[in-house]
Amino acid sequence: MKSSLKDIENAKKRITPYINETPILTSSLLNTWLGHEIFFKAECFQKIGAFKARGACNTLAWLLERGERPDHIVANSSGNHSQAVAYAASQFKIPATIFMPNYSSQVKISATQSYGAKVVLCESRDIADEKVREAAEQDGAYWIPPYNHEQVVCGQGTAVYEALTDLQDIDAVFAPCGGGGLLSGSLIASRGLSPSTKVIGVEPLNANDAAESLRSGTIQHLNEVPDTLADGAMTMAVGNVTFEYLKQLDEFYEIEEDYLIYWTQWLTHLLKCRIEPTCAMPMEAIRRWLRTQKTKQRVLMVISGGNIDQQTTNKIWERNCLETTPSLFE
Amino acid sequence: MKSSLKDIENAKKRITPYINETPILTSSLLNTWLGHEIFFKAECFQKIGAFKARGACNTLAWLLERGERPDHIVANSSGNHSQAVAYAASQFKIPATIFMPNYSSQVKISATQSYGAKVVLCESRDIADEKVREAAEQDGAYWIPPYNHEQVVCGQGTAVYEALTDLQDIDAVFAPCGGGGLLSGSLIASRGLSPSTKVIGVEPLNANDAAESLRSGTIQHLNEVPDTLADGAMTMAVGNVTFEYLKQLDEFYEIEEDYLIYWTQWLTHLLKCRIEPTCAMPMEAIRRWLRTQKTKQRVLMVISGGNIDQQTTNKIWERNCLETTPSLFE
């Protein structure tokens, strides 16, 4: 692996002044119902409401440490990465411009602007991608990508690093897979701190480019924008940096949409957190994995974020899943 | 006042082994937008998901301290109090029977049973009230009421006690009013720890029996079950114990339903917590109160709980309030 535990430790030191050490939550009811112990690292309480603040802050702090202070930060995203870069740039007092597709939710646009970034709304994601590429070529500009960058990966890995420093004897770590940044960083942290702990990735079945890539051995691209509630896992393909890490995962699960809705409702109810469908998804993988285990397991799951707009909230709560109590067996 | 700071301190000592010391949350975006500092005591992270665990545990621990261990606990409630009593009884290994109307949400019935209590479903709230009265007359039975009891009041007061011990120079404390237990306890804690801090109550305009009682000087009863999303504030009348405390409040606000929805969406979004409409309600009172203030204020609000069923969640998220950023002025 290109990055190691040492790089995650360095990232943790760099970003400590700028990020929250998020709490680890448990539900005694859920543990009773499933007969195992499940710990949730609640990155919904991270700055900007998602783990992405870690990678953006680490990348900027790393540049400054090397004496390479950019004059101007640029990024492209419709989601949490836009807020993360805006937040990080504001912490280091560097101007930032974020290129966002004009269909981005108003809530995320407002938050990005509130952190002091200039938002340029573009007619499509492709145009945003093109504009950021042009902007990045200007003198003094630095483009922080959403996942395909060693320092972004190491920043994201600090979440699992914190959790495995606090918790002993964790049997498995589960995290969702979009571009693979969080999962790659989680793998590096886990292998370094606790080599026998399994690291397991989870993706929506409707957006399973990473699973297809792992099966074929080469990076596969989705052909069209996928139909999934897990907007954090809609990335069209993983990157060459993250794919090298993803190949070393112990297992990988693909989850149907109905289960995303079921667990978003239940984890919201039990943990009293705002939880994105992307982040609730690994819970179904945990349930399936626990069914194959013969002894009581201690499992860590990363709740990667809590930014949901009103339309998605409505889709999640259309029908009532809270009448069916979670159980290991159906 | 019949109870004093000393009683709250005793309650705090008694219940410490059984309850969570809940976190205090802030939103830097909200503070920037409103120009004041607002602190949220997050009782949604309390045992059973609401502050009610405090009062039930204190009442039982107080009985035991006096050598009056009941053989059997009874209670009547459709809401958080049923779970609180079931939880408290389980902690002290005393059998409990809870009389619940059969329209109570399945989620609350299941949780009450999961804490080990026997649930008796009744055809109406009146029948549940009658049955608990009968059950309480049996030898060795003890009835824990939802609010009209000095030890329940003192237990609930430990939430604001914890917050005002952690935070200095709070100008005002806001809490919702149902039966008045939380608000009475908050008043005792606040007057004892910080006499100059204002204590302000908040009620839905559609269920304003407490406001009417305070205006008339005698306890007023609602004529019919009120139409409000704030199910925690639907109590038909305050009690004689709580009314004596409520008379000493500094101010009292009555809030329209639209604002409950607006602030439930926004506080959920900003704080990433599951927040009952009852608990979001005081935020509108805070906004109105802040408009009358000439200097920067530090305000404490109790987020009293986070138990919401699917039907209520749908009502909250029907329309999109997140497009209108909070502001002191409309």
pLDDT tens, B262-320? 999 999 999 999 999 999 999 999 999 999 999 999 999 999 988 888 999 999 999 99
Return the DSSP state at B307: -
Q: What burial letters (b/e) apply to A234-257, b meaning 16+ CB within 10 Å?
A: bbebbbebbbebbeebeebbbbeb
- pLDDT given for residue B23 in this prediction: 94
Q: Residue-wise pLDDT tens for chain A (330 aa)?
A: 799 999 999 999 999 999 999 999 999 889 999 999 999 999 999 999 999 999 999 999 999 999 999 999 999 987 899 999 999 999 999 999 999 988 887 888 888 998 999 999 999 888 998 999 999 999 999 999 999 999 999 999 999 999 999 999 999 999 999 999 999 999 999 999 999 999 999 999 999 999 999 999 999 999 888 899 988 888 889 999 999 999 999 999 999 999 999 999 999 999 999 999 999 999 999 999 999 999 999 999 999 988 888 999 999 999 999 988 899 986
CB pairs under 8 A between A and B: 73
> Can you tell me the mean pLDDT for B236-255?
96
B82-111 confidence digits (pLDDT tens): 999 999 999 999 999 999 988 887 888 888
Nearest to B7 by CA among B65, B93, B72: B65
Nearest to A247 by CA among A173, A184, A325: A184
- pLDDT given for residue A74 in this prediction: 97
B219-245 confidence digits (pLDDT tens): 999 988 889 998 888 888 999 999 999
Question: Backbone phi, then psi, for A329, in 5-degree steps?
Answer: -120, 145
- pLDDT given for residue A236 in this prediction: 86
- List CB contacts (< 8 A) between A272 and chain B: 44-45, 49, 273-274, 306
- pLDDT given for residue B244 in this prediction: 97
Sign for the CA dihedral angle at B174, B177, B182, B187 comes to: positive
**Between helices A150-166 and A181-193, what is the axis angle to 10°?**
50
- pLDDT given for residue A34 in this prediction: 96
* Geometric angle at alpha carbon B214, from B208 and B215, rounded to 5°: 90
B5-51+150-316 in CATH: which number?
3.40.50.1100
Instruction: Give start-end residues of each CATH 3.40.50.1100 domain in chain B.
Output: 5-51+150-316, 52-143
Helix (H) or strand (E) holding B315: helix B310-316
- pLDDT given for residue B7 in this prediction: 98
- For A106-218, where are the alpha helices, taking DSSP H only? 106-114, 125-136, 150-166, 181-193, 209-216
The string of DSSP codes covering A41-84 is EEGGGSGGGBTHHHHHHHHHHHHHHTT---SEEEEE-SSHHHHH
The string of DSSP codes covering B71-133 is SEEEEE-SSHHHHHHHHHHHHTT--EEEEEETTS-HHHHHHHHHTT-EEEEESSHHHHHHHHH
Return the DSSP state at A37: E
A86-97 confidence digits (pLDDT tens): 999 999 999 999
B181-221 confidence digits (pLDDT tens): 999 999 999 999 999 999 999 999 999 999 999 999 999 99
- List CB contacts (< 8 A) between A308 and chain B: 269
- pLDDT given for residue B107 in this prediction: 80
Return the DSSP state at A125: H
Residue B207: CA atoms inside 13 Å, Cβ hemisphere, count?
A: 27
- pLDDT given for residue A327 in this prediction: 93
- pLDDT given for residue B102 in this prediction: 87
Beta bridge partners of B251: B200
- pLDDT given for residue A166 in this prediction: 96
Residue A250: CA atoms inside 13 Å, Cβ hemisphere, count?
A: 18
- pLDDT given for residue B104 in this prediction: 83
The rounded distance, in Å, linking the Cα atoms of A268 and A19 is 23
Out of A45, A307, A317, name the one closest to residue B310 (CB): A317
A320–B317 C-beta distance less than 8 A: no
B49–A106 C-beta distance less than 8 A: no
Nearest to A300 by CA among A73, A39, A71: A39
Residues 6+ apart with CB under 8 A from B225: B234, B236
- List CB contacts (< 8 A) between B29 and chain A: 111, 114
Contact B191, B204 (CB under 8 A): no
Q: Given a cut of 90, is residue B124 above it in pLDDT?
A: no
Residues 6+ apart with CB under 8 A from A84: A48, A50, A52, A53, A55, A56, A57
**Residues of chain B with pLDDT > 70: what percent?**
100
A105-120 confidence digits (pLDDT tens): 788 888 899 899 999 9
Map tokens 């609730």 to a residue: A280
The rounded distance, in Å, linking the Cα atoms of B110 and B198 is 39
The ipTM assigned to this model is 0.87
How far does CA A193 lie from the centroid of its chain?
20
Q: Given a cut of 80, is residue B134 above it in pLDDT?
A: yes
Residue of A nearest to B49 (CA): A272
- pLDDT given for residue A102 in this prediction: 87
A160-173 confidence digits (pLDDT tens): 999 999 999 999 99
B272–A45 C-beta distance less than 8 A: yes
Determine the residue among A269, A315, A324, A325 to mutate to test chain B binding: the one whose Cβ has the most chain B Cβ atoms within 10 Å: A269
Which chain B residues have any C-beta within 8 angstroms of a chain A C-beta? 23, 29, 32, 44-45, 49, 106-107, 110-111, 114, 265, 268-269, 271-274, 306-311, 313-314, 317-323, 325
| Matching CATH number, B52-143, of 3.90.1200.10, 3.40.50.1100, 3.40.50.150, 3.40.50.800 | 3.40.50.1100
- pLDDT given for residue A111 in this prediction: 86
Q: Which pairing describes strands A198-204 and A251-255: parallel, antiparallel, or unpaired? A: parallel
Sign for the CA dihedral angle at A224, A229, A235, A241 comes to: negative
Which chain A residues have any C-beta within 8 angstroms of a chain B C-beta? 23, 29, 32, 44-45, 49, 105-107, 110-111, 114, 265, 268-269, 271-274, 306-311, 313-314, 317-323, 325
Nearest to A201 by CA among A216, A185, A217: A185
- pLDDT given for residue B181 in this prediction: 96
Q: How close is the nearest chain B Cα to the Cα of A120, in Å?
A: 18
- pLDDT given for residue B14 in this prediction: 98
Contact A119, A83 (CB under 8 A): no
Q: How close is the nearest chain A Cα to the Cα of B245, in Å?
A: 31
User: Encoding tokens for residue B167?
Assistant: 């935070």
